[in-house]
């Protein structure tokens, strides 16, 4: 790559930022990753990824070895170093409302704006409510000694945890939200290796770029809740949502992705993004346009309650003193992320009804323990299910799919299982003497 490549900083090195920093270095850029959390920075600088993401540790080592990647907590250093600054800080749900908490984004943009003394591009990657980029543009241009010379762009990120490296290097599309040709050119230079692979680029205004991300997540959440609403209909009628989903998915116009019935969505993105979207639409006076997202959210939460109902039913109607093996804590497999995790929520509800809950997740036990220390955490699948009265599968890790029903059966007290993710072979479990229940499926189907 040419020596006059833009130098890149990545502000916020969590799931999104750490992956982005590593991938930018692998693409040949000099990259500085910055975070306010010094323990995270120390780990990354020493070659350790502070969270579980398959493939990222190897890529981090490669990037550090190349000499093109380093990490710091020093924003002054970032301001002096970078030509293009990617802001990847968190935008969690506010504590007291459905809105996104934008204080980290504001602090990162303002902090850079105060310090940058030569022309540079600030690029937001975090997921934000529509209008944030316009507000930040006037904020940074007011603060900055450069005034309007300091430009802002929005480049939403679509990576999935569990596939973060591949999604960053080979995305389905790139969205460049810009307000000048110069800003578009800077983004085109940075993403040139990815564009050269044939990746489609959508060049848009700032508001559309922000909206692409929240609209995409809202669509995915709606598709999941749609099939889970059908599961509720199945529960009331004796129909089987598993067969229904298969039949629907064979229609090309519908497709099978995100049409899997079960315990529903969670994590650090979908739930807070649909709530923030509704909140923002209400602020804009167009709440009705996306009011259906409230129902999407409610359907999703009801699945958690229904899962607890199934465990209680299998336990004979009362959970107090019942030993439940809870398989999974992460919001999805191949991640250790427990933010708004349906699995952990179900485990918590079971515990609050008096069950003795033994949680096992192949990667997320430590994070789960931090947010909910009162549960018991097992070191292995077999330790979790030993002497269980009911087993409930909450996160569809491959290890759980691969488990042998007879081997598990030899460990439990009663062969009773709730498959919260439609991940197991119901016939096989029933054949091996298990009472098998799944959301949206008749007890004996
Ligand atoms: P995260 O919590 O893992 O990481 C955020 C990081 O920002 C933390 O390490 C935090 O210490 C740091 N930070 C906060 N304030 C800072 C500041 N002023 N300066 C420097 N660092 C600061 O969050 P995440 O999952 O990486 O998500 C980040 C953003 O990306 C969110 O808006 C999220 O919605 C979006 N996003 C996430 C994913 C995903 O799969 N995790 C995918 C697409 C988009």
User: Looking at ligand 1, which residue's alpha carbon is closest to its atom 42?
Assistant: 159
Residues contacting residue 280 through CB under 8 Å, at least 6 positions apart: 99, 100, 129, 130, 131
How many CB atoms sit inside 10 A of residue 236's CB? 8
What average pLDDT does the chain have? 97
Q: Sketch out the chain's domains with CATH numbers.
A: 8-204 (3.40.50.720), 218-438 (3.40.50.720)
pLDDT, residue 444, reads 77
Ligand 1 atom at minimum distance from 164 CA: 40
**Does the structure show a pLDDT above 80 at 36?**
yes
The annotated binding site is made up of 35, 40, 91, 127, 158-161, 213, 258-262, 266, 272, 332, 339
User: Looking at ligand 1, which residue's alpha carbon is closest to its atom 30?
Assistant: 126
Ligand 1 pocket mutation pick from 89, 158, 273 by most atoms within 8 angstroms of CB: 89
**Mean of pLDDT values over 56-76:** 98
Catalytic residue among 23, 88, 234, 269: 269
The annotated binding site for substrate is made up of 158-161, 213, 258-262, 266, 332
Contacts 24+ apart (CB under 8 A), 195-199: 197/170, 199/170, 199/171, 199/172, 199/173, 199/174
User: Looking at ligand 1, which residue's alpha carbon is closest to its atom 34?
Assistant: 127
Name the phi and psi angles at 70, rounded to 5.
-145, 170
The gap from C-alpha 380 to its chain's centroid, in whole angstroms, comes to 25
How many CB atoms sit inside 10 A of residue 89's CB? 24
C-alpha 108 – ligand 1 centre gap (Å): 11
Name the phi and psi angles at 394, rounded to 5.
-115, -25
User: Looking at ligand 1, which residue's alpha carbon is closest to its atom 32?
Assistant: 126
**Mean of pLDDT values over 55-71:** 98
Ligand 1 atom at minimum distance from 158 CA: 43
Ligand 1 atom at minimum distance from 273 CA: 34
Chain segment 353-399, per-residue pLDDT in tens: 999 999 999 999 999 999 999 999 999 999 999 999 999 999 999 99
C-alpha 40 – ligand 1 centre gap (Å): 12
In angstroms, the CA 416 to CA 436 distance is 6
Lowest mean pLDDT among 1-15, 193-207, 251-265: 1-15
End-to-end CA distance of the chain: 60
* Neighbouring-strand partners of residue 202: 175
**Please, which pLDDT band fits residue 445 given cuts at 50, 70 and 90?**
low
pLDDT, residue 203, reads 98
**Please, which pLDDT band fits residue 78 given cuts at 50, 70 and 90?**
very high
**Mean of pLDDT values over 33-59:** 98
pLDDT, residue 256, reads 96
User: Looking at ligand 1, which residue's alpha carbon is closest to its atom 17?
Assistant: 108
Query: Of 242, 156, 167, which Cα lies nearest the Cα of 199?
Result: 167
**Does the structure show a pLDDT above 80 at 123?**
yes
Residues contacting residue 426 through CB under 8 Å, at least 6 positions apart: 419, 436, 438, 441, 445
pLDDT, residue 21, reads 98
User: Looking at ligand 1, which residue's alpha carbon is closest to its atom 11?
Assistant: 37
pLDDT, residue 2, reads 53
Chain segment 277-331, per-residue pLDDT in tens: 999 999 999 999 999 999 999 999 999 999 999 999 999 999 999 999 999 999 9
Query: Of 151, 200, 154, 144, which Cα lies nearest the Cα of 180?
Result: 151
Cα dist. 78→60, 151, 328, 381 in Å?
A: 20, 16, 39, 45
Label each residue of the chain as H, E or C.
CCCCCCCEEEECCCHHHHHHHHHHHHCCCCEEEECCCHHHHHHHHCCCCCCCCCCHHHHHHHHHHCCCEEEECCHHHHHHHCCEEEECCCCCECCCCCCECCHHHHHHHHHHHHHCCCCCEEEECCCCCCCHHHHHHHHHHHHCCCHHHCEEEECCCCCCCCCHHHHHHCCCCEEEECCCHHHHHHHHHHCHHHHCCCCCEEEECHHHHHHHHHHHHHHHHHHHHHHHHHHHHHHHHCCCHHHHHHHHHCCCCCCCCCCCCCCCCCCCCHHHHHHHHHHHHHHCCCHHHHCHHHHHHHHHHHHHHHHHHHHHHHCCCCCCCCEEEEECCCCCCCCCCCCCCHHHHHHHHHHHCCCEEEEECCCCHHHHHHHCCCCEECCCHHHHHCCCCEEEECCCCHHHHHCCHHHHHHHCCCCEEEECCCCCCHHHHHHCCCEEEECCCCCCC
C-alpha 435 – ligand 1 centre gap (Å): 42
C-alpha 147 – ligand 1 centre gap (Å): 27
C-alpha 273 – ligand 1 centre gap (Å): 13
C-alpha 18 – ligand 1 centre gap (Å): 9
Ligand 1 pocket mutation pick from 11, 17, 274 by most atoms within 8 angstroms of CB: 17
Ligand 1 atom at minimum distance from 128 CA: 32
* Per-residue buried b or exposed e for 166-196, using 16+ beta carbons within 10 Å of the residue's own CB: ebbbebeebbbbbbeeebbebbebbbeebee
**Does the structure show a pLDDT above 70 at 3?**
no
pLDDT, residue 195, reads 98
How many CB atoms sit inside 10 A of residue 140's CB? 23
**Does the structure show a pLDDT above 70 at 429?**
yes
Q: Which residues line ligand 1 (CB under 6 A)?
A: 11-17, 34-37, 40, 88-91, 104, 107-108, 126-127, 157, 159, 161, 268-269
Sheet strand arrangement including 356-360: 376-377, 356-360, 323-327, 390-393, 416-419, 435-438
**CB of 193 closer than 8 Å to CB of 171:** no
Q: Is 269 a catalytic residue?
A: yes
Chain segment 403-415, per-residue pLDDT in tens: 999 999 999 999 9
pLDDT, residue 56, reads 98
**Mean of pLDDT values over 188-217:** 98
**CB of 411 closer than 8 Å to CB of 386:** yes
Taking every pair of Cα atoms in the chain, the longest distance, rounded to a whole number of angstroms, is: 73
The annotated binding site for NAD(+) is made up of 35, 40, 91, 127, 161, 272, 339
pLDDT, residue 365, reads 98
**Mean of pLDDT values over 122-136:** 98
CA angle 174, 208, 294 (to 5 degrees): 105
C-alpha 16 – ligand 1 centre gap (Å): 6
User: Looking at ligand 1, which residue's alpha carbon is closest to its atom 4?
Assistant: 14
């Amino acid at each position: 790559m040419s020596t006059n490549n833009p130098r890149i900083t990545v502000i916020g090195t969590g799931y999104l930022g750490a992956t982005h920093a590593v991938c930018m270095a692998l693409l040949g850029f000099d990259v500085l990753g910055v975070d306010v959390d010094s323990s995270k920075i120390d780990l990354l600088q020493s070659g350790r990824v502070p969270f579980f993401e398959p493939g990222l540790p190897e890529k981090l080592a490669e990037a550090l070895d190349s000499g093109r990647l380093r990490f710091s907590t020093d924003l002054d250093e970032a301001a002096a170093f970078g030509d293009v600054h990617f802001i990847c800080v968190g935008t969690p749900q506010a504590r007291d409302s459905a809105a996104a908490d934008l204080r980290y984004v504001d602090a990162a943009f303002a902090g850079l704006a105060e310090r940058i003394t030569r022309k540079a591009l600030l690029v937001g990657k975090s997921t934000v409510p529509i209008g944030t980029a316009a507000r930040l543009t006037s904020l940074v241009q007011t603060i900055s000694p450069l005034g309007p010379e300091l430009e802002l762009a929005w480049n939403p990120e679509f990576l999935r945890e569990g596939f973060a490296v591949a999604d960053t290097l080979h995305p389905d599309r790139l969205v460049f939200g810009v307000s000048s040709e110069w800003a578009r050119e800077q983004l085109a230079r940075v993403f040139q290796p990815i564009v050269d692979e044939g990746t489609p680029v959508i060049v848009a205004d700032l508001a559309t770029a922000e909206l692409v991300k929240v609209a995409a997540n809202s669509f995915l959440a709606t598709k999941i809740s749609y099939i889970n609403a059908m599961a509720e209909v199945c529960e009331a009628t004796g129909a089987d949502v598993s067969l229904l989903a298969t039949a629907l998915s064979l229609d090309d116009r519908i497709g099978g992705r995100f049409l899997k019935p079960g315990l529903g969505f969670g994590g650090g993105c979908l739930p807070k993004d649909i709530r923030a979207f509704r909140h923002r639409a209400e602020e804009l006076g167009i709440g009705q346009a996306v009011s259906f997202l409230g129902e999407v959210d409610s359907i999703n939460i009801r699945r958690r309650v229904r899962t607890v109902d199934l465990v209680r039913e299998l336990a004979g109607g009362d959970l107090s003193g019942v030993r439940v093996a809870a398989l999974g804590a992460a919001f999805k497999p191949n991640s250790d992320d427990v933010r708004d995790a349906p699995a952990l929520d179900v485990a918590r509800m079971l515990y609050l009804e008096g069950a003795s809950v033994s949680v096992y997740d192949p990667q997320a036990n430590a994070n789960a323990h931090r947010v909910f220390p009162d549960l018991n955490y097992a070191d292995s699948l077999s330790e979790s299910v030993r002497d269980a009265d009911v087993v409930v599968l909450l996160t569809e890790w491959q290890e759980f799919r691969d488990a042998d029903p007879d081997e598990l059966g030899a460990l439990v007290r009663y062969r009773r299982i709730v498959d919260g993710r439609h991940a197991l072979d119901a016939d096989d479990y029933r054949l091996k003497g298990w009472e098998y229940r799944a959301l949206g499926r008749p007890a004996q189907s």
